[in-house]
Structure 1
Amino acid sequence: MNKLYQRTAAMLLLTVTTACGQHVTGMTRVPPPVPQVSVSAGQESTSTAEELVVWSYYDTADGDKHFASLHPDFKVKSVMHSYEGIVDDLIQSAITGETPDVVMLDSSHAGRLNGIDILDNLRNSLYSSKGYEDRIPKNMLPVYSNLAGDKLMALPTELPNAVTFYRADILEENGFPSEPEALAVYISNPQNWVDMAMKLKEKNIYLFQHYTDPFETAALSASYLDGELRFNRGSQAFLDAFYVSREVRSHGLALRSMIWDSSGQQAIRSGQLAMLYAGTWITGQLKSWAPDLTGRWRAARLPLNLYGYKEGAMMAIPKLSRHKAEAWEYLKLTTNLLQPADQPGGEAYLGGQDMNALKTSLAPQNKGIYPTPLDTRLKELWDKKGVEIAESDRPIPELLQEMGQQMEAMTAEERRIMKEYLMRSAEGK
């Protein structure tokens, strides 16, 4: 590993969390990896010679079976980790040299991994990944690349998008736009969004789970820092979103239950909750929670003319994987990046809406994404200050500016180190 990158990577891992969830202060060094043991599929020199080890935070049984059916000389050993702990476990495995062959991560983990050198570069000739990378919109590549953008760390299982899910029948019955694009245009105006919520509340129908929903929806469109490592959440859309959050809180326009709770799921079934702002994968959850509502839900782009994404699985191959060729085959079988962009994707639950077309149109518009190793620390401040802004009577622009200044001040030294690294990386290209 390049010595400059070794030193820089050690400095960039600034906020690694331990297995118990506590933050390590200062800097945590990741030692150089131990030499890789190369074992081919036909060898029997170790007990794991014909075993592809896959780590994930969700059930991969279908993908495992598919791979095993095409590669009978290998069996897949899947190991389930917690969503919160899988990154810590992966970093520890790089230290001990006992890494998996494939690791399934979430796109929200990107900032914790793109500053350390433990994942293989999928641009290496072994992987022939260009056709897959070409399907990832340029503005979304930072999610799947290292901090400098010169290595491809992961592939998404599918491109993540965030949308507005809504009950088309309820909106239509109450005189509001019910077609996806018409609704998106209508709620691009923050006052329209508030007025809709006010009118529907009269019938005990809600558009928000909590008053934080509007500014957290805006947060789907932009990371904490931009590509120049400056505060990235001070645009007019964020001012508008905090205004809506204040109105929701002031007028009691939130359900005050979450969809992950039984009360929130009952509100979905009863029609009391008529709008969600989430990743496109939530379609499957809606089917599970409210199968009788088939045909009544639709999806539109986000309010306030925003484009964003909400999590989404991605796959990587650790540098110490013992079966890289087979690991690459597993990735190719699991991603849908090469599906034709014009392949029909009618979703019966959403009234036959073509979700493939919607996702294809939205993904290239995601332009505010730049994960960094500082995100874990910045999230804590965002969560705290976001609530304070929504609950305050002080001018929103003033408070948002203060938050940005605080974020930049508390990470000044780390950002200086990162900028120096990025500058040297650019010079070396």
Structure 2
Amino acid sequence: MQTSKSFVLFLMFFILAGCTSPPVQSVHDSTLIRETDSEEETQNAKTNELLIWTPDNIFSNSLEGFQEKFPDALINIKEIDPNIIAEKYRDSLIKGKTPDIYVFPIDKIGGFSGVHGLEDLSKPMYDDSLFMQALPKGLVEEFRTSDSNKLFALPLLYFPYVTYYRADILKKYGFPSEPDRLSEWISDKEKWIEMAEVLKQKGHYITETDHQIIETALRTSNLFNGTYDYIAKKNAFGKALEGAVEVEENDLDPSLNIWEESGKAALKNDELVMFYMANYVQDQLKEWVPDQKENWGITTLPFGLNGVDRKASTAIAISSQSQNKMIAWEFIKHMCKDMMNIYKGSNKDPFYINKDINRIYWNSVTNSIAGQPTILDKGSENIWKVALAEFRNGEEITEHAIEQVHQDIGDLIRQDQKALQNLINKN
């Protein structure tokens, strides 16, 4: 059994290395590894110190409450450069010199899905049904491997992606303006296109750019399912790609960016009446257009898309090498509960028409999210990034261009995908 686990670890990391763009250095040649060895803080011995590696220390406001419960615990939080975090974490697992707890950016966690070295948090020793039931189910299930049902991480801090829209303008032209009704309407691609066409005739747009639709899909969605099938051609992701092609064909976007002055001007003059962004824009929008109070609403994403900003959101895991697993588990529970409180209770913001914005946010993370992070993500995402750069620079978004991306990804992953699927079938 141990031999099988070691082989899986080797295979996963070999594939991940093969999917990255820079040439791979050997362990002995890498100056990065020599530097980190000399400075490394790892925690494999049984002590009262809990070592956490994280890209950002988001625990400051929650530590006092944890220390009140566990006064003897010494918390050592080490920030890891996000640019090298995947390599750093991978190297520590290979060497068996790990912290007690890892915090992962969700967009990088795919390289660790199914890897031997992270605790299975569904084990009986971690049983806490009330805590687990309170977590956002959609996100939790992303971190459960489909082949072994292993739960290798839990959602920690997350930012739901949503639709911001001008309720007064939609209502004026006969479209649904109440959040739930609009959510149902824009989940249908044909109805979303109809809305875009009608509003364009009135001088209004419901997306910043054609490629913003693709960016939203990539920012919130998985490219593969748990058995390593590529799922970006179908379901919500596929509908979003079709929508982007139709926006390009029918010139249904103003080619603006809300973070630029021209984009902010388009919000102020009612040209841009819908856009897609994470919930951290809720307060920002009020600063941009303060005189539009009570005209804006928030609802779910179009085309059936659903998820969080994967670049900004994080997950948390326990190293199997940790000698402090139970106190690590208590730390995880405390921090997850604290972060989850952001979305608990009512959120009635007078700027928006919503009776409770948190209900929209919570639905975005509890509803089922297609697929899960996998070892094949990195190389595939790099191909999409190249395509997006070309679309931003003026290349037309066509069915042929999208199909070429799918084909390039298929060519890249074919051998690794087959090896991983064979491994699942053997087990």
* TM-score bracket for this pair, using the shorter chain length: 0.7 to 0.9
Work out whether 1:2 is the aligned partner of 2:2.
yes
Q: Look up the SS of the partner of 1:78 in the other structure.
A: strand
Instruction: Flag the structure with higher helix content.
Output: 2
Work out whether 1:373 is the aligned partner of 2:375.
yes
Contact 1:120–1:319 (8 Å) recurs in 2 = yes
Describe the superposition over 1:326-370 as per-residue Cα deviations: whole angstroms up to 9, x where unpaired: 221111112239979x96433315445324433454545435213
Task: Report deviation, 1:233.
Answer: 2.0
- For residues 64 and 267 of structure 2, the distance between their equivalents in structure 1, rounded to whole angstroms, comes to 34
Describe the superposition over 1:217-267 as per-residue Cα deviations: whole angstroms up to 9, x where unpaired: 444675223344333122375554334323434565445454555665675
Work out whether 1:190 is the aligned partner of 2:189.
yes
- For residues 122 and 98 of structure 2, the distance between their equivalents in structure 1, rounded to whole angstroms, comes to 20
Counterpart for residue 304 of structure 1: 303
Work out whether 1:242 is the aligned partner of 2:249.
no
Q: Look up the SS of the partner of 2:150 in the other structure.
A: coil
1:153-302 equivalent positions in 2, closer than 5 A: 153-157=152-156, 161-198=160-197, 200=199, 205-219=204-218, 222-235=221-234, 240-250=239-249, 253-259=252-258, 264=263, 273-283=272-282, 286=285, 295-302=294-301
Work out whether 1:323 is the aligned partner of 2:324.
yes
Contact 2:44–2:98 (8 Å) recurs in 1 = no
- For residues 25 and 232 of structure 2, the distance between their equivalents in structure 1, rounded to whole angstroms, comes to 26
Contact 1:295–1:352 (8 Å) recurs in 2 = no
1:398-417 equivalent positions in 2, closer than 5 A: 400=402, 403-417=405-419
Task: Report deviation, 1:113.
Answer: 0.9
Task: Report deviation, 1:173.
Answer: 4.4
- For residues 191 and 110 of structure 1, the distance between their equivalents in structure 2, rounded to whole angstroms, comes to 34
Counterpart for residue 419 of structure 1: 421
Describe the superposition over 1:284-318 as per-residue Cα deviations: whole angstroms up to 9, x where unpaired: 55467667766443222221244444323211122
Runs of 5+ in structure 2 lacking a partner?
28-41
- For residues 47 and 287 of structure 2, the distance between their equivalents in structure 1, rounded to whole angstroms, comes to 42
Contact 1:222–1:232 (8 Å) recurs in 2 = no
Aligned length: 409
Contact 1:169–1:178 (8 Å) recurs in 2 = yes
TM-score, scaled relative to structure 1: 0.77
Counterpart for residue 67 of structure 1: 66
Counterpart for residue 109 of structure 2: 110
Contact 2:205–2:272 (8 Å) recurs in 1 = yes
Describe the superposition over 1:68-114 as per-residue Cα deviations: whole angstroms up to 9, x where unpaired: 33333234333333444322222233345553332222322221111
Contact 1:221–1:368 (8 Å) recurs in 2 = no
Contact 2:59–2:335 (8 Å) recurs in 1 = no
Structure 2 letter corresponding to 1:190: K
Work out whether 1:314 is the aligned partner of 2:321.
no
Moved more, 255-264 or 170-179: 255-264
Task: Report deviation, 1:373.
Answer: 0.6
Counterpart for residue 335 of structure 1: 336
Structure 2 letter corresponding to 1:116: V
Counterpart for residue 148 of structure 1: 147
Select 2:45's aligned residue among 38, 47, 57: 38
Change (3 A) 1:5 1:66: same
Change (3 A) 1:185 1:146: closer
Change (3 A) 1:301 1:333: same
Moved more, 241-250 or 4-13: 241-250
Counterpart for residue 46 of structure 1: none
Task: Report deviation, 1:179.
Answer: 0.7
1:86-105 equivalent positions in 2, closer than 5 A: 86-95=85-94, 97-105=96-104
Contact 2:232–2:238 (8 Å) recurs in 1 = no
- For residues 239 and 151 of structure 2, the distance between their equivalents in structure 1, rounded to whole angstroms, comes to 35
- For residues 239 and 327 of structure 1, the distance between their equivalents in structure 2, rounded to whole angstroms, comes to 40
- For residues 419 and 210 of structure 2, the distance between their equivalents in structure 1, rounded to whole angstroms, comes to 37
Contact 1:218–1:241 (8 Å) recurs in 2 = yes
Counterpart for residue 80 of structure 1: 79
Change (3 A) 1:399 1:191: same
Q: Give identity over the alignment, percent.
A: 23
Describe the superposition over 1:33-86 as per-residue Cα deviations: whole angstroms up to 9, x where unpaired: xx9743332xxxxxxx4x543523353311223323333323433333344432
Contact 2:379–2:412 (8 Å) recurs in 1 = no
- For residues 14 and 262 of structure 1, the distance between their equivalents in structure 2, rounded to whole angstroms, comes to 45
Contact 1:107–1:313 (8 Å) recurs in 2 = yes
- For residues 321 and 267 of structure 1, the distance between their equivalents in structure 2, rounded to whole angstroms, comes to 53
Counterpart for residue 383 of structure 1: 385
RMSD: 4.2
Contact 1:224–1:231 (8 Å) recurs in 2 = yes
Contact 2:296–2:352 (8 Å) recurs in 1 = yes
Change (3 A) 1:107 1:292: farther
Moved more, 237-246 or 85-94: 237-246
